[in-house]
Amino acid sequence: MKKTIIVCFAGLFVLTLSAQGPASRRGFGGPRAQMGARLSSGPVTGAPYSATETFTSQQTLANGTQISHSQTSSVYRDGQGRTCTQTTVTPPASSGKQPFTQTTIVDPVAGYRYVLNSSTMTAIQMPLPKAPTSTTSGTTTPPPGRTGEAQATTTTTTGVNLNGFTTNETVTTWTIPAGTIGNSQPIQSVRTVWVSTALQVPIQITTSDPRRGTTEMELTNIVQAEPAASLFVVPSNYTIKTGGGFGGQAMRGHAMPGAWNRQ
């Protein structure tokens, strides 16, 4: 079953995908941020899982130089809708610092988000924002640009099998008409999102933009079982510091590597 929707954006509205996975942050700061489709309208309960989450990006510059990034994380969600993302951070060799683990715990039950740093044994605690009253499923932030630039065409196909899961596939194509920003030909950016109907989380997200290259997120090694409860609490030997609020001053200096932090 396919349905096509054509939308003309009057502005760069941020519409979020109604599926809760590991927390995400919108934007274009890096491959993870560029996916921009992982915020939820609320916690997903009764569908626990664990998986390996891989983000890759590739950009080719005008002189042929290629810039590639890759990051792998372990992600978990329990039956209460709490999520945990664990990523190994490798500082530049010149820093003299050893690799460490950064863990992000989102606990909608208690109403807090924690960012843990294994090298400092600290956890930054921040209150979660109130969930939006409604979301538009399968729609994501259009490419950055001036208001009114992009026209979007969205096609959704249900019942698509991917990595052993039944998904809904949503393909959104943003088109900037020729001459809009001095471009001699139309510019098209395409994002495809496959959302598992069982887990209510994206199994794969791909983006392609001729100005910024390609990015991909994929969940593999998915296990539908309750993860260990210890993953969703701050260890007793960590020092908890209170942050200044979600997305505020407390987040500065505590982002995921390469600005790939999520939510």
Domain range summary for the chain, segments of one domain joined by +? 2-259
Residue bearing the bigger pLDDT, 15 or 188: 188
pLDDT digits (tens, 9 = 90+) for 50-104: 999 999 999 999 999 999 999 999 999 999 999 999 999 988 888 888 999 999 9
| Topology classification of domain 2-259 | outer membrane lipoprotein receptor (LolB), chain A (2.50.20)
Mean model confidence pLDDT for the chain? 78
pLDDT digits (tens, 9 = 90+) for 152-203: 999 999 999 999 999 999 999 999 999 998 999 999 999 999 999 999 999 9
CB atoms within 10 A of CB 138: 23
Burial of residue 85, with CB atoms counted within 10 A of its CB: 0-12 exposed, 13-18 middle, 19 or more buried: buried
Residue bearing the bigger pLDDT, 131 or 34: 131
Strand partners, 241: 124
Contacts of 131 (CB under 8 A, 6+ apart): 40, 41, 42
Average pLDDT value for residue range 226-235:
97
What CA–CA distance (Å, rounded) separates 201 from 137?
Answer: 11
CB atoms within 10 A of CB 82: 22
pLDDT at 141: 57
What CA–CA distance (Å, rounded) separates 202 from 33?
Answer: 15
Which tokens hold the place of 73?
A: 């994380």
Residue bearing the bigger pLDDT, 152 or 253: 152
pLDDT digits (tens, 9 = 90+) for 40-55: 457 899 999 999 999 9
